[in-house]
Chain A
């Protein structure tokens, strides 16, 4: 016969296993990125600007998409990168009356079972310093970096304006 202490331990362990199976599984965030597109853009021409700042030749584009989180935990978009540009930053345009104001944002919260739209006159990924022209009909890859889900590659077609 087993000692009662062992039996109690096995029963407790079984209880924990049963409880774990019965409780809803915490899956964490489940991120999807859809409907991505970017504006056309022309590579800079290396125009040098005074005051020591050499950003005159940089040209830009913007990437728009929808982030969907099917999971039961929130996540946050914390960065982006693409081989077509020197830098990719998270930005937001805000309209104050008829004045458009743009500002960098360090992170964008993606709520559990929610979605966040990156769209014209709103949130977007700004591509700074294009390394090549982005022509309508082309596609390129961009990587979005999430706090919990890690890096997610996105295929981005270049489209005419889709306001």
Chain B
């Protein structure tokens, strides 16, 4: 064979190898989700009244949402999205690797029993899902860590109150304006994806969850 032939083959092989290396590097980059923050290992109370440390979920991928049960509109959608994800996780045989956590940012009203009834009304599978309430200051600090905005809006007789009412009236209630978000947390307890809460797409969520499941613990 002429020398130029082998030279051409060599250059061709080099191109193939380089292209392969670039593809591997790009794939690795695509696999890597950013790290936003670490979830603190603080104690909460689950829907059965048992203490639940957030650190208990280390070693599993966690889908975490914050809601309040008096929210009739957006929070049920957040829960519905998470339930949709839970069903898909089960369908893919990942239930032992993915845990779901819902934390209320209205602990004064959302007792363990209220959370239990709220979840049962929505046919939640508690096998790998905990609904948490807790000390108001702990929950306030958690919202700060996670960047969840909350603001109480008091309403009297269906009309917004100008300030926090002092009246002892059964007609007084409050709503909470809040950030609409779902968090994906890796096995080390680090937030790796911010999903748009009630607007979360199942396909997008599952694609990220599969990536996090593939990541080895400690990597």
Contact = CB atoms under 8 A, between A and B. Distances in A.
A53 to B, nearest CB: 5
Interface stretch (B64-72, B96-104, B205-213): B64-72
Nearest to A101: B177
Interface string B110-133: 010110011011110000000000
A102 B178 CA distance: 9
Interface in A92-135: 93, 95, 98-104, 106, 120-121, 124, 126-128, 133-135
Given A44-B114, A99-B180, A128 B173 contact: yes
Contacts of B76: 39, 62, 161
A40 B155 CA distance: 23
Contact of A60 (B71, B149, B179): B71
Contacts of A163: 77, 80-81, 198
Contacts of B73: 62, 91, 93, 100, 102, 120-121, 124, 126
Q: Size range of the interface on B?
A: 35 or more
Contact of B121 (A49, A99, A120, A135): A135
Given A60-B71, A61-B72, A104 B114 contact: no
B81 to A, nearest CB: 8
Contacts of A47: 109, 111, 113-114
Give the secondary structure class of A's interface. loop
Interface string A123-163: 01011100001111000000000000000000000001101
B115 to A, nearest CB: 10
A74 interface: no
A99 B180 CA distance: 6
Interface in B156-204: 158-160, 165-170, 172-175, 177-181, 196-198
B158 to A, nearest CB: 5
A99 B179 contact: yes
B33 interface: no
B108 interface: yes
B173 A58 contact: yes
B112 to A, nearest CB: 11
A102 B159 CA distance: 12
A54 interface: yes
A127 B172 CA distance: 15
A121 B74 contact: yes
A59 B155 contact: no
Nearest to B168: A52
B114 A60 contact: no
A42 B118 contact: yes
Interface string A21-62: 000000000000000000111111101011111111011111
A130 B158 CA distance: 16
B153 interface: yes
A72 interface: no
A100 B114 contact: no
B153 A103 contact: yes
A89 interface: yes
A43 B117 CA distance: 8
Nearest to A63: B72
B110 to A, nearest CB: 9
Contacts of B198: 100, 120-121, 163
Contact of B117 (A42, A93, A101, A128): A42
Contacts of B166: 51-52
Nearest to B194: A98
Nearest to A127: B72
Contacts of B175: 102
Contacts of B117: 42-43, 45, 59, 133
